[in-house]
């Protein structure tokens, strides 16, 4: 038997129905924030991701040469494609440009719970201004998305990669080794960071200073320790967020993010119930357009890990009730099949979700099937009832059964929706 590739999943009808429902919640939130949907190709020229995504993502690229000898990669994320599209197609559009997207991304990672090789992101990019309002807009929207899932146990952490980069650079780390150091600091992996920094000639005092910064974690009050413009910026951001539905974000100047393109504010949301892969959302402000041949414009955005936020909702005990169908039509005998097909078509034309037995099952088995598929009503069509232009309708919840004129059937079923 051929199996699906490692790190991928099949989604059965029950899964897809649930996923579409939750996707719809995110879509609604994005629209209420004035974002509009875009779509970009699933594969791009590898260079798009190589230019700035950083060592984490590069090592995980699904890249190959196509038949025309082009270097192609499956997208590991959608920010670079969105900005490439902006540079190609939308650079003269009035700003801000607010776009959102939903789709699969591919990373060659070691699969585990909440970490897949094919996974889904729901993300948003705001292209326009490097100001507090833009950052507040996206963090607030991320918060609203998490709340729309009904999640209770989650935390939003906000940092500033600009401050951290400056500190690393001031400590004497050469520019080309910045990413390597940040990667260690990202995991607060000081045991590995210390020898690495020392090998670059960074002094003990400077290392201590650096760790002081990455350990600046807590409520907004810790911002008093953040000097200069960045501190003011984050204070104004927190103030704005407070009136925009994100009341108690954690400040964490150790938030590094796995991608290299961020320049200012960075943020992450985590759901502790998920354990190791608890990050359900990540984002920040960045500039990428100039790298792709456009003018330099400031952007900010985030992506929700759709699979993870779903897992988090499940872990919190949320259940999803299957939609089911309005009616399952069962012809009692072969001589009523034509009339049954007519009736099911009439129901479908009215927008009622309807199905018809095509297996020629006996009544008891047909009822069982209807119940498994979540039919709310079964329409039993018999020759005798048809003579008086009627059918029997069985309410699958109460078990109640009554004979109804066909002309009243639609009204009856709609009243039961």
Q: Which residues bind ligand HAM (CB under 6 A)?
A: 77, 79, 107, 109, 114-116, 119, 121, 123, 125, 258-259, 279-284, 301-303, 305, 307-308
Instruction: Single out the residue of 307, 340, 292, 347 nearest to residue 325, CA to CA.
Output: 347
Residue number with CB closer to ligand HAM (125 or 355) = 125
For residue 145, the minimal CB distance to ligand HAM (Å) is 12
Residue number with CB closer to ligand HAM (159 or 301) = 301
In degrees and rounded to multiples of 5, residue 71 shows phi and psi of -85, 115
Residue number with CB closer to ligand HAM (113 or 373) = 113
| Residue number of the CB atom closest to ligand HAM | 305
Pairwise CA distance, residues 319 & 238, whole Å: 33
CB 194 within 8 A of CB 210: no
Rg, the chain, Cα only: 28
For residue 321, the minimal CB distance to ligand HAM (Å) is 26
Answer positive or negative: Cα dihedral of 185, 108, 10, 79: positive
CB 309 within 8 A of CB 147: no
For residue 153, the minimal CB distance to ligand HAM (Å) is 16
CB 242 within 8 A of CB 171: no
Pairwise CA distance, residues 143 & 249, whole Å: 10
Cα angle for residues 161, 162, 168 (degrees, 5° grid): 85
Full DSSP string of 345-367: HHHHHTT--EEE--S---HHHHH
For residue 299, the minimal CB distance to ligand HAM (Å) is 7
CB 381 within 8 A of CB 375: no
For residue 294, the minimal CB distance to ligand HAM (Å) is 17
Residue number with CB closer to ligand HAM (139 or 406) = 139
Instruction: Single out the residue of 238, 145, 181, 170 nearest to residue 55, CA to CA.
Output: 181
Residue number with CB closer to ligand HAM (208 or 296) = 296
Residue number with CB closer to ligand HAM (99 or 356) = 99
For residue 219, the minimal CB distance to ligand HAM (Å) is 23
Residue number with CB closer to ligand HAM (96 or 382) = 96
For residue 122, the minimal CB distance to ligand HAM (Å) is 9
For residue 73, the minimal CB distance to ligand HAM (Å) is 14
What are the C-alpha distances in Å from 73 to residues 18, 218, 345, 405?
30, 39, 46, 60
Instruction: Give CA 353 to chain center in angstroms.
Output: 28
For residue 77, the minimal CB distance to ligand HAM (Å) is 3
Residue number with CB closer to ligand HAM (123 or 159) = 123
Longest Cα separation, the chain: 96
Tell me the CA end-to-end span of the chain in Å, nearest whole number.
Answer: 42
For residue 311, the minimal CB distance to ligand HAM (Å) is 9
Residue number with CB closer to ligand HAM (188 or 348) = 188
Residue number with CB closer to ligand HAM (303 or 313) = 303
Secondary structure letter of residue 26 according to DSSP? H
Answer positive or negative: Cα dihedral of 186, 188, 192, 197: positive
């Amino acid at each position: 038997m051929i199996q699906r590739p490692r790190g991928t999943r099949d989604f059965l009808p029950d899964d897809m129905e649930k996923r579409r429902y939750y996707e719809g919640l995110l879509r609604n939130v994005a629209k209420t924030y004035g974002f509009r949907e875009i779509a970009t190709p699933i594969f791009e020229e590898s260079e798009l991701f190589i230019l700035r995504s950083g060592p984490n993502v590069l090592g995980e690229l699904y890249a190959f040469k196509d038949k025309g000898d082009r270097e192609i990669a499956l997208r590991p994320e959608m920010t670079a494609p969105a900005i490439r599209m902006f540079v190609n197609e939308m650079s003269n559009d009035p700003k801000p440009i607010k776009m959102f997207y939903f789709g699969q991304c591919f990373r060659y990672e070691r699969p585990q719970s909440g970490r897949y090789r094919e996974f889904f992101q729901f993300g948003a990019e705001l292209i326009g201004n490097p100001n507090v309002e833009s950052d507040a807009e996206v963090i607030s929207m991320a918060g609203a998305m998490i709340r729309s899932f009904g999640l209770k146990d989650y935390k939003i952490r906000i940092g500033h990669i600009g401050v951290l980069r400056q500190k690393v650079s001031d400590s004497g780390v050469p520019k080309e080794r910045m990413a390597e150091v940040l990667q260690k600091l990202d995991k607060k992996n000081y045991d590995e960071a210390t020898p690495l920094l020392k090998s670059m000639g960074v002094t003990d005092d400077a290392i201590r200073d650096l760790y002081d910064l990455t350990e600046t974690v807590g409520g907004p009050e810790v911002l008093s320790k953040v000097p200069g413009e960045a501190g003011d910026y984050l204070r104004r951001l927190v103030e704005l967020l407070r009136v925009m539905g994100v009341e108690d974000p954690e400040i964490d100047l150790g938030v590094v993010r796995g991608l290299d393109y961020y320049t200012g504010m960075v943020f992450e949301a985590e759901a502790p119930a998920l354990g190791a892969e608890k990050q359900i959302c990540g984002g920040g402000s960045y500039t990428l357009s100039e790298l792709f041949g456009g003018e330099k414009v400031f952007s900010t955005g985030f992506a929700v890990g759709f699979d993870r936020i779903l897992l988090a909702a499940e872990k919190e005990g949320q259940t999803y009730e299957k939609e089911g169908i309005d009616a399952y039509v069962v012809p009692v005998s072969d001589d009523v099949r034509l009339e049954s097909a007519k009736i099911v078509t009439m129901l479908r034309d009215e927008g009622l979700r309807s199905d018809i037995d095509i297996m020629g099952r006996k009544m008891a088995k047909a009822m069982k099937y209807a119940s498994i598929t979540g039919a709310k009503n079964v329409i039993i069509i018999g020759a005798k009832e048809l003579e008086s232009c009627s059918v029997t309708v069985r309410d699958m919840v109460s078990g109640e059964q009554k004979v109804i004129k066909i002309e009243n059937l639609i009204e009856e079923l709609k009243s039961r929706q």
